[in-house]
Homo-oligomer: A and B are copies of this chain.
């Protein structure tokens, strides 16, 4: 999608076996728009770990490119080291494991360096196509006119290479001449709603207002929300959905107010080996994310501030599981699924 009117992808391979992988450093957004590049697989793995690239489909694509680079630069350790290295970068988004499997099978099939790179490009392009088609389905579900759509975290193009999951439907609506407006949960602790979703939407001239996460139920009670759409990090076989912490609380409030609650995710976010949400590993992240908030100070410097006293501890589960019965429909590239 667009940044200052120019098209970008969250992750980009400009071409050539000797090329460099490019990605937007999302830890600096929206304050700095910086593109990083590297052909060092370890740098790519760390970019996933420290969330320079985040969002389930984008994590998968990043790992695919990282493994292609590992194959090119350190082929001897591809199976013995790099597959494990990448599969341990983040635990919850299943797209990562799908990408690792894809690249492993390709390597085991006797792929050349160019074929591994082509496979990573194909993996990323497939995610983009899935998100575009999913967005068309979602736009139909969101219907037309002045729709007030509540979102949580960032499920936009930054999270998925291009188009996005939940936001893809909103982009399609806007391009069709409709007038969607978005109420974006800021999404503590890392504030991806405030930092990424609001910025993405502003770049596409779609009206967006942010709110603290705990205002969502009250805004529903006030009649200010028509529909809710979120993304997913992993969807179990029974339709339970792991997504950013807070999604479950949102779904409970949506049911109370009879507001449709949609999950938008490509097929790569499904994990049929998980029978239910109980089988999905939930990442517990460092308490520092809760205790310190990142932003830009009055001098234009990006930094962190302590929001509490020294010695205070925090618990920081990064995801939660929304049980299937709270979900109106799951929307993927093949259509709608009622869990």
Instruction: A303 to B210: give the CA distance in the assembly, Å.
Output: 22
Take A210-B313, A315-B219, A317-B215 as given contacts and tell me if A199 and B252 are in contact as well, using a CB distance cutoff of 8 Å.
Answer: no
Q: Is the C-beta of A179 less than 8 angstroms from some C-beta in chain B?
A: no
Contact partners of A292 in chain B: CB under 8 A: 295
A175-207, CB < 8 A from B:
183, 185-189, 191, 194-195, 198-199, 202
Q: Is the C-beta of A306 less than 8 angstroms from some C-beta in chain B?
A: yes
Could you say which of B212, B218, B303, B314 contacts A188, with CB atoms under 8 Å apart?
B212
Contact partners of A314 in chain B: CB under 8 A: 209-211
Nearest residue in B to A314 (C-beta to C-beta)? Answer: B210
Decide if B212 touches A213 in the complex (CB within 8 Å): yes
Take A209-B313, A215-B317, A216-B249 as given contacts and tell me if A297 and B303 are in contact as well, using a CB distance cutoff of 8 Å.
Answer: yes
Instruction: A76 to B138: give the CA distance in the assembly, Å.
Output: 65
Instruction: A295 to B198: give the CA distance in the assembly, Å.
Output: 23
Decide if B221 touches A320 in the complex (CB within 8 Å): yes
Number of copies: 2
Q: Is the C-beta of A298 less than 8 angstroms from some C-beta in chain B?
A: yes
Decide if A199 touches B297 in the complex (CB within 8 Å): no
Q: Is the interface of A mostly helix, strand, loop or mixed?
A: mixed
Q: Shortest beta-carbon distance, A85 to chain B, in Å?
A: 29
When each residue 278-303 of chain A gets 1 if its CB lies under 8 Å from chain B and 0 otherwise, what string results? 00000000000011111111100001
Decide if A303 touches B312 in the complex (CB within 8 Å): no
Decide if A307 touches B245 in the complex (CB within 8 Å): no
Contact partners of A315 in chain B: CB under 8 A: 183, 209-211, 215, 219
Q: Is the C-beta of A141 less than 8 angstroms from some C-beta in chain B?
A: no
Q: Shortest beta-carbon distance, A310 to chain B, in Å?
A: 9
Q: Is the C-beta of A305 less than 8 angstroms from some C-beta in chain B?
A: yes
Q: Is the C-beta of A60 less than 8 angstroms from some C-beta in chain B?
A: no
Q: Shortest beta-carbon distance, A207 to chain B, in Å?
A: 9
Q: Is the C-beta of A89 less than 8 angstroms from some C-beta in chain B?
A: no
Contact partners of A194 in chain B: CB under 8 A: 290-291, 307-308, 312
Decide if A312 touches B210 in the complex (CB within 8 Å): yes
If A198-B308, A218-B248 are given as contacts, then 9 extra A-B residue pairs at C-beta distance below 8 Å, sorted by A number, are: A186-B308, A191-B307, A194-B307, A210-B315, A212-B245, A214-B250, A249-B249, A252-B253, A298-B304
